[in-house]
Amino acid sequence: MPKIGDRVICGMKIDFWFSKGQFFLSMCVRIIGVLLLGLLLVGCGAEKHSRQTAERVTTVKTTTAYAVEYQTKDFAGMATADDAVNLAFRIAGQILAVDVSKGDYVELNQMLARLDSRDVELRVAADKSRYERAKSQYERLGRLLAHEAVSQQEYEASLSEYIQAQSTYENTKDLLQDTKLCAPYAGVVERLFVDTYQRVEAGQPILRLVNPISTTVEFTMPERSLLALSDSLTTFIVTFDNIPNRHFAARLHKFAKTASDASGFPVALKIAADESRKYGISPGMTCQITMRVVEGKISEVAIPLTAVYAPSEGGEYVWVVGRDMRVERRAVRLGLPFGRDKVGVESGLSEGEQVVTAGVYRLHDGDKVRVIN
């Protein structure tokens, strides 16, 4: 039978081994945690290193530089009236009636407006009476001169008075015609300047008459393009905004060699009258003029404007894509823009080379690219 002292000793042994087991277990847990943390750090470092060493590939769009045999330049223009005039009375007077309204189409010689003619009619009657009296006196003195009843001097005086009265009468009759304003050609009343019963002076505009069919197109051209007008190979195409599917061939009509301001030099083109009449081209219609200029330097190539890389530090460059799909930044000398979105390249680029057109500001020299054209 064990004693009390033996139980105490046994309990102390059990507690010792128990505490030693706990210490061993905690050490194992710590070691395992340190190992796992090390593995995790090693894995993250390897992943980070792999990301850093992976090569960047940039997605871009490209195009091929092509030789320029001709250039096209676009200008905004407008159809203008072939015939347009402000009509006025030759004499002063009060307007009796305006027989047309704004926008009316009128025929040749159609009545447009009339003046009150009562004063002129009275003058015509008085001058007619004077003329007839002078004529009668002249004829009577002519008969008397045949019988030597009057002197030659009296006869010549009556002749002079007769000629003067005749001239005055004929001029007054013309004034009677001037109280009527008629259309000098068929056209449209674009604007009225006066109202009925208004008193007007001689030469004061009454209305504006415009030919509704236009064969003339006008636009302004910058000075640097004027040389192309003297080239017989330069051609013009006109496209009106409300007839986008029809292109009208045009010829150079005239242009001014001087300009009153910095807006450009005025140029006028002519399109065929039959075509203008068929499609109803009228003054005021807006259009686009495309001028095609034959290039003398076939060595020049063209690229889109979006392919030009112009960094803040200056210079003009393009990104050329090589066979290994890596880009090279190359300095170029640009010519003049033409067409809607093209520009000529005078040096630094050859025909057939592939250049980046989208994403030019995201690239660095030697970057690898992927084309998604």
Confidence label for 221 from pLDDT (cuts 50, 70 and 90): confident
Q: Indicate if the pLDDT at residue 365 is higher than 80.
A: yes
Q: Are residues 220 and 288 in the same domain?
A: yes
Residue where one domain finishes, among candidates 246, 267, 294: 294
- Residue 119: predicted pLDDT: 87
Residue whose C-alpha is closest to residue 321's, from 65, 82, 137, 107: 65
Flag whether 14 is in a domain: no
**Residues 240-246: what's their mean pLDDT?**
92
Flag whether 193 is in a domain: yes
CATH number at residue 324: 2.40.420.20
Task: Render the burial of 285-323: b for 16+ CB within 10 Å, e for the rest.
Answer: bebbbbbbbebeeeebbbbbebbbbeeeeeeebbbbbee
Which pTM was predicted?
Answer: 0.54
Q: Are residues 202 and 241 in the same domain?
A: no
- Residue 175: predicted pLDDT: 86
CATH number at residue 242: 2.40.30.170
Residue whose C-alpha is closest to residue 301's, from 353, 255, 264, 266: 353
Q: Indicate if the pLDDT at residue 252 is higher than 70.
A: yes
Tell me which of 54-63, 189-198, 250-259, 292-301 is least confident. Answer: 292-301
CATH number at residue 203: 2.40.50.100
Q: Are residues 96 and 197 in the same domain?
A: yes
Residues 6+ apart with CB under 8 A from 61: 356, 357, 358, 359, 371, 372, 373
Q: Are residues 319 and 335 in the same domain?
A: yes
Domain count, the chain: 4
Q: Are residues 137 and 279 in the same domain?
A: no
Q: Are residues 91 and 199 in the same domain?
A: yes
How large a percentage of the chain has pLDDT more than 70?
A: 83
- Residue 247: predicted pLDDT: 93
- Residue 372: predicted pLDDT: 86
Flag whether 18 is in a domain: no
Q: Are residues 224 and 125 in the same domain?
A: no
CATH number at residue 132: 1.10.287.470
Q: Indicate if the pLDDT at residue 20 is higher than 60.
A: no
Q: Are residues 102 and 196 in the same domain?
A: yes
Q: Are residues 316 and 286 in the same domain?
A: no
Q: Are residues 286 and 307 in the same domain?
A: no
Burial of 206 (0-12, 13-18, 19+ CB in 10 A): buried
**Residues 298-315: what's their mean pLDDT?**
85
Most confident of the following: 140-144, 314-318, 342-346: 314-318
Tell me which of 40-49, 71-80, 312-321, 349-358 is least confident. Answer: 40-49
Residue where one domain finishes, among candidates 294, 321, 341: 294
Flag whether 28 is in a domain: no
Flag whether 25 is in a domain: no
Flag whether 20 is in a domain: no
* Mean per-residue pLDDT over the chain, rounded: 83
**Residues 366-372: what's their mean pLDDT?**
90
Q: Indicate if the pLDDT at residue 69 is higher than 90.
A: no
Q: Are residues 280 and 321 in the same domain?
A: no
Q: Indicate if the pLDDT at residue 293 is higher than 50.
A: yes
Flag whether 11 is in a domain: no
More confident site: 298 or 60 = 60
Give tens-digit pLDDT for 189-206: 999 999 999 999 999 999
Residue 40's identity, in one-letter code, is: L
Burial of 345 (0-12, 13-18, 19+ CB in 10 A): buried
Flag whether 173 is in a domain: yes
Q: Indicate if the pLDDT at residue 16 is higher than 60.
A: no
In what side-by-side order are the strands of the sheet with 333-338? 66-67, 301-304, 342-347, 333-338
Residue where one domain finishes, among candidates 264, 294, 324: 294
- Residue 72: predicted pLDDT: 79
Q: Indicate if the pLDDT at residue 336 is higher than 70.
A: yes
Q: Indicate if the pLDDT at residue 1 is higher than 80.
A: no
**Residues 362-373: what's their mean pLDDT?**
89
Q: Indicate if the pLDDT at residue 42 is higher than 80.
A: no
Q: Indicate if the pLDDT at residue 313 is higher than 70.
A: yes
For residue 170, the enclosing domain spans 119-178
Q: Indicate if the pLDDT at residue 225 is higher than 50.
A: yes
Q: Are residues 223 and 165 in the same domain?
A: no
